[in-house]
Structure 1
Amino acid sequence: MFSSRDLAEASGLGAARSVAGKAALIGGLVLLMVLVMLAPFGARTKQVSSACPPNGPGNANDPVPTGQLRVTQIAYAKIIDSVAVARGLPGQATLVALMTALQESQLQNLSYGDRDSVGLFQQRPSTGWGTVAQLMDPAYAANAFFGGAQPPSPPGLVDINNWYSMPFTVAAQAVQRSAFPDAYARHEDTARSIAEQAGIDLNRTGDPYAGRSGSHAVPSGVSPSGAAIANQCGGGLVDGRPIAGNWPPEKQNVPDPTGTGGMVTPRTAAWVAKARSALPNLSITCWDAHLWNPTSDHPKGKACDVMVGADSRKSATARTKGDQIANWTLQTAATTGVRYVIWYGKIWSARTGVWRVYNGGGIYNPNDVTGGHYDHVHVSMY
């Protein structure tokens, strides 16, 4: 079981030098430990699960918690990452673990769950993950999730071949084997936010198979923003950088310049004007009711689709045109307020600055020409 020293170090208490500083941190630690002890009795499984419904990836992130809940999440995130760092795993492993724990327990060390599931990752003693006492120890639970040659026996992350090149939700599901395999994807932004607050380096390189027995090919320097993911982009797509700024909300009060008859935000209309000026012969459509996807930015007047004229998987001309549109959009995003871009089976976010595999958001078939965005570039604005 984790100790008060574990939580003290995870919360930063060990770094305090002054008496006043230690007193303030001790007060916060006491509140944290009370919260951790009371958390299992303050909710039941249905209540916890209702905060993160498994309704498909990418639709929404959990509301940002404040106060002691976020303090608790940060403390546990530090413990999980300390295990990954000690093992020499890349930051990408920590990210997958945080996304998993957010879905399974809201990153809380629960003493209850579905059937006999307990702990941060809701691991089950009856399926070989360990005893209840072991699984209630966050460090043990994290080691079990990461897997390797040491017990327990269920395969962990490092036991999954090529997990580092999979979409994060697929890697998590390969370990968890959940009834809702796509649910982990919706927690990526929350996990990144917690990691940032915890001072965790998700770009850290490492051995993705650290702790695994037997021979295996070890790629060099795997990290979520490194070659393992960048190479998936292919073609002429370029990596960007995190550029998310302060873009205040806007009302839909401008007629759609693409002639749909709908209304868009001034930011969207300005992007259309700049795109038409910079790129030749664009076929753009912005506002659309999108009745099949109520979470879409199109009916909000904050998204546009730029058609490339053909299936870019079969047309080099269409691929080149789409790459040109996508790259220009990334290069100008800091001044236009672009939030994310989807093109050629990949999605780029201004918040992370990197391309990653697009999973369809629980709405579209990513293998379809339109669902995978092989015939158009989607651009969403803040």
Structure 2
Amino acid sequence: MRLRTGVALVGVAAVVVAAAIGYGVWDRVGPLLTPDECTAQVSGRTVTLSVEQAENAALIAAVSVGRGMPARAATIALATAYQESKLYNLESGDRDSLGLFQQRPSQGWGTEKQIMDPYYATNAFYDALERIGDYESMRVTVAAQEVQRSGFPEAYADHEADARVLASALTGNSRHAFSCRIGDAPDAARTRLLDSGLTRRADVVRREVAQLFGDPPMGGFEPGGVSSGHMEGSAHYDGRAVDVFVRPISAENKVRGWAIAQYLVAMADRLGVQHVIFDDRIWTSGSASGEGWRDSDPPERSGDRAILEHRDHVHVDVFA
């Protein structure tokens, strides 16, 4: 058996409402059922994952970004999780091995409950990786083996190419390179605003991003008309939107912005995300999600292109 990613993240399992159903109708002429899935495309190589695998991969990459580690660290961690669990949070394994990295309580990795928390398990892996010291100069499989002490030390190399693609996309080093096809909208959730000025679903997103990537200035609900800077009809006025700022605009912050944006796409099914906008690109759940990241066409009524391009912040809004 396996456990869905993110259930312990920010302690909000009880308030994360039901997400999209796994199939959607995509053909306008004749109905064609296609399973939800995610893809990363970098340098001509494509990696395809189930939504559950993508959530785990995105979490592994996000933790590396939040810790200030290089993309190389994410590559090593992803290659390891590929080999150990196929990027699923397994509830069993060889002897007492558990979770994404098949860590063993008997070997000091933590309690069973801790290891089954993907956030804890990923941080435990990176803690061990950092203790190696020169892991960046090692072959991926060698660095992974230094952490894992596996009986099959060369097996990690089998997954290195795919891990590099995912790491490059999900750490933001490859822009709009990761996308998910998500079918139906989630069930309706409570729309009453919390003290944060956000709906419960949007507040979960805000807290999760803050936990993983740090706590930059974030804007949620802004009362009043379009003078607040958002267009009429914006999800901000319903408390369904969060802006994650990556200021000042720089190459480094652009990478960080894409890491956040593509993480949110990977988690769209679980978090009920409807749109993600960054750097003049937009991803939309539902039938349009099969198109991946599209150019963000400015609405006719907008006179401020900077607002529409979202160059200095990631905009995310959720379903009602």
Q: TM-score, normalised to structure 1's length? A: 0.36
Larger Rg: 1
More strand by share: 2
Task: Specify which structure has the bigger relative contact order, considering alpha-carbon pairs within 8 angstroms and separated by 6 or more residues.
Answer: 2
